[in-house]
């Protein structure tokens, strides 16, 4: 089974900052990686799929990159509504798996 | 508008069973792969099961539920199901019904979730 490890697990940043979250896979997953944002009490929201494709309606300050085993989610200029928990998910093979999450908090 | 509405959650004793349902609307249900994803209280997301859109659907399960949970779909009723047997305390979670954008692109629509609580 493929394990995904996100780093950091917690991140404190200020509005306007640029932040990057990393997701590492225990084996190669091509570009079959998605990123989600989840706010408390809400269902997750798809941000990025196929490692770098922005889902419709998602602001362009979100971007994704990577292939193989290392991937990144970057938010170019944090907005107040971006403070949330972020998850990566691999869809290369079953069983599908999620990273443990990165909680982004306001500094 | 795409809508996924789960039902069937509740409180059950360890070893018991529950059947979750998901009513889908606003899209051609039969043409999409569907998933169940769960989230234990205060914890991260866990993929539970997927079923493909094909006539003879491909099905898979997380190791943690294999042999105890059964996913199924009724395309005529635009509905997804999860039969959960031999429930354990560690199955306590919010269960989300979720539509796959494609089989490898991730989940683009989620239900509001239904809470399953397994008491020991």
* A19-51 tens-digit pLDDT: 999 999 999 999 999 999 999 999 999 999 999
- Pairing assessment for the beta strands A102-106 and A85-90 based on DSSP bridges: antiparallel
The per-residue pLDDT for B57 is 83
Confidence check: pLDDT of B120 > 90: no
Distance CA A100, CA A92 (A): 18
Question: Partners of B71 in the beta sheet?
Answer: B82
B chain contacts of residue A52, beta-carbon cutoff 8 Å: none
pLDDT at B103: 83
What value does the mean pLDDT take over residues B63-73? 97
**Residue A77 in 3-state DSSP?**
coil
Contact between residue A19 and residue A63 where contact means Cβ atoms under 8 Å apart:
no
Asked if B60 and A101 come within 8 Å (Cβ–Cβ), the reply is no
In chain A, what residues touch B45 (CB-CB under 8 Å)? Answer: 36, 38, 44, 87, 89, 98, 101
User: What sign for the dihedral angle of Cα B37, B9, B19, B30?
Assistant: negative
Identify residues of A whose CB sits under 8 angstroms from chain B CBs.
Answer: 1, 32, 34, 36, 38, 43-46, 49-50, 53, 55, 87, 89, 91-92, 94-101
Reported as a single tens digit per residue, the pLDDT across B7-38 is 999 999 999 999 999 999 999 999 999 999 99
Question: B98 with B111: CB under 8 angstroms?
Answer: yes
Instruction: Find tokens 């009513």 and name the residue.
Output: B23
Q: What is the DSSP secondary-structure string of B39-71?
A: E-TTS-EEEEEEE-SSSS--EEE-TTTTTTEEE
DSSP reduced 3-state for A9 = coil
Interface test with A, best of B96, B106, B107 (most A CBs within 10 A): B106
Report the C-alpha gap between B39 and A98 in whole angstroms.
Answer: 11
Residue B86 DSSP label: S
CB contact under 8 A, B63 and A1: yes
């Amino acid at each position: 089974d493929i394990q995904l490890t996100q780093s950091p697990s917690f991140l404190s940043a200020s509005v306007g900052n640029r932040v990057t979250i990393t997701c590492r896979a225990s084996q190669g997953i091509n570009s079959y990686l998605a990123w989600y944002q989840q706010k408390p009490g809400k269902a997750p929201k798809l941000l990025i799929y196929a490692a770098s494709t922005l889902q419709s309606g998602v602001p362009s300050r979100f971007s994704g990159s990577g292939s193989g085993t290392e991937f990144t989610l970057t938010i170019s200029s944090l907005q107040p509504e971006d403070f949330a928990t972020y998850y990566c998910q691999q869809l290369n093979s079953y069983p599908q798996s999620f990273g443990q999450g990165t909680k982004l908090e306001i500094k | 508008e795409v809508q996924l509405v789960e039902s069937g959650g509740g409180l059950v004793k360890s070893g018991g069973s529950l059947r979750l349902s998901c009513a889908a609307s606003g899209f051609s249900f039969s043409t999409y792969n569907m998933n169940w994803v769960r989230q234990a209280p205060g914890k991260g997301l866990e993929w539970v099961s997927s079923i493909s859109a094909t006539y003879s659907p491909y099905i898979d399960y997380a190791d943690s539920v294999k042999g105890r949970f059964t996913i199924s779909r009724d395309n005529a009723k635009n509905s997804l199901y999860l039969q959960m047997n031999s429930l354990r305390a560690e199955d306590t979670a919010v269960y989300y019904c979720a539509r796959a954008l494609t089989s490898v692109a991730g989940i683009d629509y989620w239900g509001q979730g239904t809470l399953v609580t397994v008491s020991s």
